[in-house]
Amino acid sequence: MSWPADDSMAHRALLYTDEPEFRTAVGAFIHEGLERREQILAAVPAGQLAWLRGELGGDVPAVEFADAASFYRRQGQATRATLDWLRRHASDGQRVRVVAEQASSRRTPAEAADYLRMEAAANVVYQPFPVSVLCPYDVSVLPGDLRPGVEQTHPELLRGDRVVPSPAFADPRIFIRNFSAVAPPPLTSASIGFGRREDLAAVRRFLRTQLARAGFGDEAAALLVAAAAEVVTNALMHGTAPRRLWVYTEGPMLVCHVRDDGPGFADPLAAYLAPDRHATHGHGLWLGRQACDCLEAATDGTGTHVRLLTRLPEPGAPEGLPTQSEALP
């Protein structure tokens, strides 16, 4: 079960059924890293954090623990926080390890699908770093329709003490494109059309009104308006008419849905690759992912659709969105 010791990236999935199986496999992964003096990030649900601390005999200086409930509060921020951690600990060529698990069974179908797309993108996003990534999945609660996606997004599977190639593994870009579907807006949705840059002010006013009606406070609404405006600007620059934005609810989520008649994004990884901070464009989808709980981008015969999905505010909950720094302990 030994992991690489060179500068390559390794990305494996563990499909486990109970606590002993988790503790044996993940514990061995962490102990091997500690023996090699590697820094380790473990972002897993609270119950699994307790299992790990029990396996390790408590906190260990070389292991940073993060509760998945906050770390994966927003999928895009989880990617950003992981990249920041890798830059801090692996930029000098030092090999590191990551254990990454979120409670997929507690996610909406849109969030669970977005997480699998993020898993596919990880094979490219983390490629520059000498990192070993182990992604445990509790099959006792994993929705059955997600298991094929787990095997398609991980080049290798950990089975007991054996590592086997995943026969279903798919090219990340192909997986993301095929795992992204258009969901049409409800006919009763509030909407606004736009066709020129001068229309952005009206789009922002429309969004602020809709978000206020949905219960979002000023701070949270401002961030979502800025993110949606970036997507609208993308549609103006790269799409074609007709262009429209809808706002509606989907279960516990509020959806900002932007459509244009263009051919879509040339690179399916556009929403997952951090843009050059000095670039003057190309930030739209990346910023959108930071501001909402999940983002979907897909193209079909009706045009190109981008949906920003954000959980509706809970009564009495404090205003504000978690920042990147809040994702790590």
CA dist 245 and 57 (Å) reads 53
Nearest residue to 72 via CA among 42, 109, 47, 101: 101
- Which residue stretches of the chain are H helix? 19-35, 46-56, 68-71, 75-90, 109-125, 147-153, 172-178, 200-213, 218-238, 284-291
Sign of the dihedral through C-alpha 120, 121, 127, 131: negative
Q: What is the pLDDT of residue 325?
A: 32
pLDDT, tens digit (0-9, with 9 covering 90-100), for 29-86: 999 999 999 999 999 999 999 999 999 999 999 999 999 999 998 888 999 999 999 9
Q: What is the pLDDT of residue 282?
A: 57
pLDDT along the chain (329 residues), means of 10: 90 97 97 97 97 95 96 90 96 95 89 95 96 97 92 96 95 96 95 97 98 96 94 94 98 97 91 73 78 94 96 69 34
Q: What is the pLDDT of residue 273?
A: 85
- The model's pTM: 0.91
Q: What is the pLDDT of residue 324?
A: 30
Give the whole-number percent of the chain exceeding pLDDT 90. Answer: 81
DSSP characters over 271-328: GTSPPPTT-SS--HHHHHHHHSSEEEEEEETTEEEEEEEEEPPPTTPPS----GGGG-
Q: What angle do CA 74, 278, 89 make, to 5 degrees?
A: 55
Q: What is the pLDDT of residue 301?
A: 92
Q: What is the pLDDT of residue 322?
A: 37
